[in-house]
Structure 1
Amino acid sequence: MKVDLNLLKKEKKNQVDLNLQLNLDTINYYGDKFLLPNPISLEGKIYNVSNEFFLACQVKTLMEVSCSRCLKPFTYDYSSKINVQLVEEKEVLNEDDDLEDIFFYHDGIISLEDIVKENIIMNIPIQLLCSEACKGICAGCGEDLNDKECKCITEENHDDGIDPRLAKLKKLLQQD
C-alpha cells in the first residue's frame, strides 16, 4: 500500500487517519520465512507538521514460525508500535539524526509495506519459543525433550560424568 504525501501538502491536512489491512504472504528473516496467514492490521496516523511528515501507528498480525529450541511450528502473536519521521530522499540529514527513526520516501510516495516489513524484522525476538518451558531437542539423538526423555548418556544421568568410550583412559590415569 502506497500513500501519496503530496496530497497531504496540497490539501493542507494536519493528519490522516490510517486503518488498513496489509496483505503480505511471507517475510524473509535471515534465511527463515515467516508465513503471514492473516492480513497485517495497521492503525494510526500520518502527521503533517510544517510539511514534515511523521507516522505513528500500531501493527498487529499472526505469524507462522518455528520454535528455536524444538523446531515445531507455532503461531506467534506480533504487535509493535511504529514512530518514524518520513523524510524525502533528497533532503540532507545532520550527523546527529537518528536513522532508526527515519524512513525515506521518493517523489512524495511512501510504501507502508516496506515500513511494516522493516519494523517486523527489527523487532522480532532473536529466539522465538513455543513456550518458555520448551526443553528443545537432544543434541545427541534428536529426540524432542518436550515429548519424552532421551536415553543418551549425559553428565546428568551418568554416575561420574565420563563418556563411556573414555572410561578405559580414566582407569589408566588412576593406575599411575
Structure 2
Amino acid sequence: MKLIISEIPIEGLNLDTSIVCESESIISPVNIHLRIDKADTEISIKGDFSARLRLQCSRCLNEFEKEDYIHVDVVYHPLTEIVTVEKHEIKIDELNTDFYSGDELDISALIKEQIELNIPMKPLCDELCKGICPGCGADLNFQVCSCPKQKIDPRFAELSKLLK
C-alpha cells in the first residue's frame, strides 16, 4: 500500500483498513488503524495494527497460530536530509526515524517490518510447553517419554541428594 505524500492533507489522515502482506508468517490480512500527519517534509505515522501469525514453537517444534497486536510510532524524513554518508551512531531517540525518497511512502513495507521485528526470538505455543525429548524425540506435551532414566555419575551422586 503506497501513500502519496503530496496528497496527505494539512489536517492529517486517519487510515483504517486491512491489507495483505506477503510473508510466510503472516496468515491473515493486517488490520490497520493509523494516524498520518505531515509537517513540511516530515511525516509522522502513529497507530496500531493486528495480524494473525503462524509460528513454530522453539520447544516442541509444532506450528501454532497467534494474534499479534503492534503499536507503531515512526517519523519519516526525506532522504535528502542526510548530509553525509559517513558513519553515524544511532542515538536512542533516533530509533523511530526512517527515510523516504520521492513522493511515495510504502506503508506495507513498514507494517511487514514491524510485524517481523515483533516476532519473539523463541516463540512458544504455550508457556507450559514441555518440548521434545532429546533422546527419543517424543513430544512431551502429548506423550510420555520411554527413554531410560539417566544414570547419575557416581562422582555426582552425593550432589543429587541436595535436589531432593
CA contact (8 A) 1:14 1:49 kept: no
Superposed, 1:1-176 pairs within 5 Å as 1-8=1-8, 11=9, 13-26=10-23, 33-34=24-25, 36-92=26-82, 98-155=93-150, 158=151, 161-162=152-153
Question: Following the alignment from structure 1 to structure 2, what is the Cα–Cα distance between the partners of residues 130 and 149?
Answer: 19
Q: Which residue of 2 aligns with 1:174?
A: none
Question: Following the alignment from structure 2 to structure 1, what is the Cα–Cα distance between the partners of residues 75 and 149?
Answer: 54
What is the TM-score of this pair, normalised by structure 1? 0.76
Measured after TM superposition, the shift of residue 140 of structure 1 is: 1.1
Structure 2 unaligned segments of length 5 or more: list them: 155-164
What is the TM-score of this pair, normalised by structure 2? 0.81
Q: Specify whether residues 153 and 99 from structure 1 end up closer, same or farther in structure 2 by C-alpha distance, changes over 3 A only.
A: farther
CA RMSD of aligned residues (A): 2.1
CA contact (8 A) 2:42 2:78 kept: no
Deviant stretches of 4+, over 3 Å: 93-99
Measured after TM superposition, the shift of residue 57 of structure 1 is: 1.4
Letter in 2 for 1:145: L
Measured after TM superposition, the shift of residue 65 of structure 1 is: 1.4
Letter in 1 for 2:82: V
Tell which has more relative contact order, 1 or 2 (C-alpha 8 A, sep 6+).
2
Structure 1 unaligned segments of length 5 or more: list them: 27-32, 168-176
Q: Which residue of 1 aligns with 2:159?
A: none
Q: Give me the identity figure in percent.
A: 27
Question: Following the alignment from structure 2 to structure 1, what is the Cα–Cα distance between the partners of residues 49 and 127?
Answer: 24
Measured after TM superposition, the shift of residue 3 of structure 1 is: 0.2
State the aligned residue count: 149
SS, match of residue 90 in structure 1:
helix
Question: Following the alignment from structure 1 to structure 2, what is the Cα–Cα distance between the partners of residues 42 and 20?
Answer: 5
Letter in 2 for 1:23: V
Output one character per residue of 1:21-68: Cα deviation in whole Å (capped at 9) or x when no partner.
111242xxxxxx41x231001101101234421000101010111111
SS, match of residue 116 in structure 1:
helix
SS, match of residue 76 in structure 2:
strand
SS, match of residue 37 in structure 1:
coil
Output one character per residue of 1:133-167: Cα deviation in whole Å (capped at 9) or x when no partner.
00000111100011122122344xx4xx14xxxx9
